[in-house]
Structure 1
Amino acid sequence: MGLFNYTVAGGGFILIGAWESLASTSTALKNSSQPSTSQNPSTDKHTQDSVFSSSITFVLILILSFLSVLDSLLSFFDAINSKDNVGSVLQLQVIAISLLFFLYSVLGLMTCLKKSFLLPTPILNLVCLFAFAEEFLLFYLQRKDPSGVENRYYDLLLVPITICAFCSFLELKNPKSSYTRLGRGIGLILQGMWILQMGFAFFSDLVAQGCALHEKSRGNYTVKCKGHQEYHRGRAIATLQFNCHLALLVTVISFVYSIVCKKNGISREHMRYRPIGAEMQHLEMDNQAHFTLDSDEDDNENGIKEEMNVEMQRAIVPVPESETNGYHTGP
């Protein structure tokens, strides 16, 4: 395939993942910063922006999958001319995966651009999930040379593929979630970075010392090492490279996320500082103050009621009947 093909493939994955991540992050921030009311004038605008971003994503996937099919066809005919049966079968698998992504992009574009074409969203997401699952099986089962160092690179490539497949599975349950798109975008970026690293490791002088590339055909190759020590060093270097790529990705994502948050803004409810235990202390102080006031009022009210009762009792004390004109009215 060559370094150029790996560069194009890795750059395409990074571009798709970056666009998907930025679009999903921007959508999530806008949804959190605006009230969710039924009559929101910006709802239609957000819907149009989402359709536009999805259309660009499908176009990028369409171009990359089409280029992958062409490259696999060239590798397939080269394997036939070289009488490499393993290489020809391997390219047929790559073509099948590329056609699945091509079908996913075509259906997605028709759904976004044509209102008359109604395709349930879970079916579209299911096609994407099948494509990632088949890609996972391709690199998981690819063991052309059991002692080849490239197998370690393929094993590490399963990590971003698993992230993409898992996010696509979650999207089946909640198609409108921006966080599943964000996770899949990050997985695509990591996958593209690692494809670039594989290209430089296989087809340049950056391969581990004591190891060299051996090609049977255009798409069938292996990285062999001189001895057991060189083989283990090559595997260790691959693991170290993957960890460096992962750390770089986390740093870049944190930096870009801070810029996007500053540009789009976040709701004040999410940014308001609330010390731990401050609300409980405020409630306790209110309760104590309320109890003290109630006690004083109760005491005053009880005193007033007692005085009123005494006066009422005095008013209703029976008074002896008085004598009229000096005569007693008794019997």
Structure 2
Amino acid sequence: MGLFSMSFAGGSFILIGAWESLISSSSSSSSSSMKKPQHFSVITLISTFSLSLLFIVDSLYSLFNAISSNDKVGSSLQLQVLAISSLFLLFSCLGLLNFFSKTQSFPYPLLNLILLFSFLEEFLLFHLHLKDPNGIENRYYDLMLVPILICVISTIVELFSPSENSGYSKLGRGLGLILKGTWFLQMGFSFFTDLIAHNCELKYKSRGNFTIKCKGHMDTHRGGAIAVLLFNCHLAFLVALICGLFGVFGRRFVDYSKYQPLGGEVKRRGESEASFVLDSDSDDCGNDEIKQDDIRAIERKENGVVEMTVNGYGSHSVN
């Protein structure tokens, strides 16, 4: 893959993820009233079909280039990419058949299961993508595991509870695809342009098998640190973008009529509790004193004892 291929793949992932995040609101609002789980969007399936087909074509081209260059590692790597792309292509084909075919109907959990296997195989590909243990590109591939893991978890949630959490799972998968797309763009510019780390250079073995070598040990550590810093910037950008979009379009999806200020509620609750405590204490004390006086008076009358007091001092009892 080159700069154009990775940029096109990254832009496609961003668009698919944005669409998944957009339709997640409608899924969450309609899942409570629908007993059947919603199917995947036609736009998502068509986009996945087209992107998977392009990945297959690119992998076949890289495979033939690796065979001509006698690169066995590159050949095996492209076979793995072909397997993953074929799974995504199968998922999209079966999903499109559910929409356009009146005789064939594949269950929704089956499509989710195929999608889950696709993400899991992609996760293993980037996790075991160690062509060169000393290459800087391995740090970028390790950070790619984060958005793929988000997609895996979201698909598992949708697989086991499709009707209750379909909106949240689509939103999580959409955000994971957006982060995956932005990181694809970053890898393309970091690998194939002058934005690569200082004192590091790209070396090809075949079209799909390359490594980034640095001159010294400190240069290697600096290149890895730059990769982590860039990924943190991508995460911060994604969080800021989500918060901004939610602030602008939140009124369409959130009912603010039932919102009550937390400060006023706490203040009213504190005042009511304080007045209740003071009133109850004074009432209890007064009632206790009255009850004690009544009990003493009754006991004295029963015993025939009359108590005489003078000016509140001293007392004389007469039998």
Please confirm whether the aligned pair reaches a TM-score higher than 0.5, indicating the same fold. yes
Distance 1:264 1:163 in 2: 23
Alignment of 1:244-255 (within 5 A): 244-255=233-244
Partner in structure 2 of residue 120 of structure 1: 107
Partner in structure 2 of residue 314 of structure 1: none
> Percent sequence identity over matched residues?
52
Most deviating of 196-205 and 104-113: 104-113
Whichever structure has more strand as a proportion of its residues is: 2
8 Å CA contact 1:26–1:260 kept in 2: the answer is no
Partner in structure 1 of residue 261 of structure 2: 273
Partner in structure 1 of residue 41 of structure 2: 54
Alignment of 1:144-293 (within 5 A): 144-176=131-163, 177=165, 178-266=167-255, 268-269=257-258, 271-275=259-263, 276-277=265-266, 280=269
8 Å CA contact 1:160–1:191 kept in 2: the answer is yes
8 Å CA contact 1:76–1:92 kept in 2: the answer is yes
Partner in structure 1 of residue 311 of structure 2: none
Distance 1:115 1:74 in 2: 37
Partner in structure 1 of residue 51 of structure 2: 64
How far is 1:268 from its partner? 2.1
Distance 2:71 2:121 in 1: 23
Distance 1:143 1:96 in 2: 18
- Per-residue CA deviation, residues 2-34 of structure 1 (Å, 9 max, x unaligned), is 100000110111110010001103443x459xx
Partner in structure 2 of residue 87 of structure 1: 74
Distance 1:246 1:5 in 2: 23
Partner in structure 1 of residue 117 of structure 2: 130
- Per-residue CA deviation, residues 44-95 of structure 1 (Å, 9 max, x unaligned), is xxx9xx66x7111111111111100000000000111111111011000000
Partner in structure 1 of residue 14 of structure 2: 14
Describe the SS at the equivalent of 1:215.
strand
Distance 2:270 2:30 in 1: 33
Distance 1:266 1:80 in 2: 59
Relative to structure 1, is the Cα distance of residues 283 and 117 closer, same or farther in structure 2, using a 3 angstrom cutoff?
farther
TM-score (norm 1): 0.77
**Which runs of no fewer than 5 residues in structure 2 stay unpaired?**
281-319
**Letter paired with 1:20:** E
Partner in structure 1 of residue 297 of structure 2: none
8 Å CA contact 1:65–1:101 kept in 2: the answer is yes
Relative to structure 1, is the Cα distance of residues 224 and 279 closer, same or farther in structure 2, using a 3 angstrom cutoff?
same
Q: How many residues align?
A: 279
Relative to structure 1, is the Cα distance of residues 248 and 266 closer, same or farther in structure 2, using a 3 angstrom cutoff?
same
Describe the SS at the equivalent of 2:195.
coil
The structure with the largest alpha-carbon Rg is 1
TM-score (norm 2): 0.80
**Which runs of no fewer than 5 residues in structure 1 stay unpaired?**
292-331
Distance 1:258 1:113 in 2: 38
Most deviating of 257-266 and 206-215: 257-266
Partner in structure 1 of residue 3 of structure 2: 3
Distance 2:215 2:270 in 1: 70
How far is 1:142 from its partner? 1.1
How far is 1:273 from its partner? 2.7
Distance 1:124 1:283 in 2: 55
Distance 2:169 2:272 in 1: 39
Most deviating of 97-106 and 108-117: 108-117
Distance 2:20 2:105 in 1: 23
Distance 1:219 1:97 in 2: 15
Describe the SS at the equivalent of 1:268.
coil
1:98 equivalenced with 2:82 (yes/no): no
